[in-house]
Amino acid sequence: MTDTPDARTAAPVMEIFASIQGEGAFVGEPQVFLRLRGCPMRCRWCDTPGSWRVGDADRARIAATVERGGARREKPWATPFQAACWIAEVEPGTPRTVSVTGGEPLVWPEFLRGLRSMLSPRRLHLETGGGHPKTLAQVIDGFDHVSLDLKPELDLDPPEEIVATAGSPTSECAPRTSAEWRAARAACLALVAGRDACAKIVVSGERSIDDLGPLLDEVERCAPGLPVYLQPATPIGGSTAPEPKTLVLLAEMARDRDLDVRVVPQMHRVLGLP
């Protein structure tokens, strides 16, 4: 790609498809999903590890409706305008909320900033791992809702920064130490406090209430009005599902802190949807 204004706003699309939201505050809502490639985090329970890296041979899956020719593969690098055109192709009916996910969307702030003008007046949702608070501050006003993952460091392998020959990735590095992660979570929680947002905590069988309780303390301290969704991990990549008693105890710990808490599995997995 050449170094033009459009090229700097481009991001690598992994897939765009219409489905049912399976996580967080809008679970069950029909949405369009714009999944971007590139993620420095290495969550051991990640259900889309294929989105981590950006490669020259990658192709974007555009799940267009039958009326628009059906699913196909395209070169992945897309400007916000191109992404908006693809989004229109995958919608089976009236325009839907668009959920931007990944990967880690905050790797591509210039692309995110350009989406609002292309997709208005649709609702635009951001799903982020919460490791890039400075970048989140740059783009948050362009989104109607933010779903913020709170990750215990015990579930994370060392991050790997994104190598890309195109676009304009963020210069903000992912946290590496426990102290850096605590600071990033606190900063992201402060940014979403008082907004249309939610926090999501994935609960795997490898984690105890002692491991996850501090995340509830951080929500209570930094964003006490933020809804919290405890998400049992889908067994994948060696991770296991949590014991039911762990979920019950964590939910009660959240209630003890006067947090608005729900326990919701990945409903799209339950329903067999993408």
Task: With beta carbons less than 8 A apart as the criterion, state whether 103 and 39 touch.
Answer: yes
pLDDT, averaged across the chain? 94
Task: With beta carbons less than 8 A apart as the criterion, state whether 26 and 123 touch.
Answer: no
Statement: 5-271 belongs to CATH 3.30.70.260: no
pTM summary value:
0.94
How much is the pLDDT for 237?
Answer: 72
How much is the pLDDT for 273?
Answer: 75
Confidence of residue 139 (pLDDT cuts 50, 70, 90): very high
Q: Is it true that the peptide bond before 55 is cis, omega within 30 degrees of 0? A: no
Confidence of residue 3 (pLDDT cuts 50, 70, 90): very low
Q: What one-character DSSP code corresponds to residue 166? A: S
150-207 confidence digits (pLDDT tens): 998 899 999 998 888 788 899 999 999 999 999 999 999 999 999 999 999 999 999 9
99-127 confidence digits (pLDDT tens): 999 999 999 999 999 999 999 999 999 99
> 254 pLDDT exceeds 80?
yes
How much is the pLDDT for 41?
Answer: 95
How much is the pLDDT for 1?
Answer: 46
Pick from 77, 83, 85, 98: which is nearest to 11 by CA?
77
List the structure tokens of 151: 């990750």
How much is the pLDDT for 176?
Answer: 94
- Helix and strand numbers (H, E) in the chain are 8, 13
Delimit the domains of the chain by residue range. 5-271
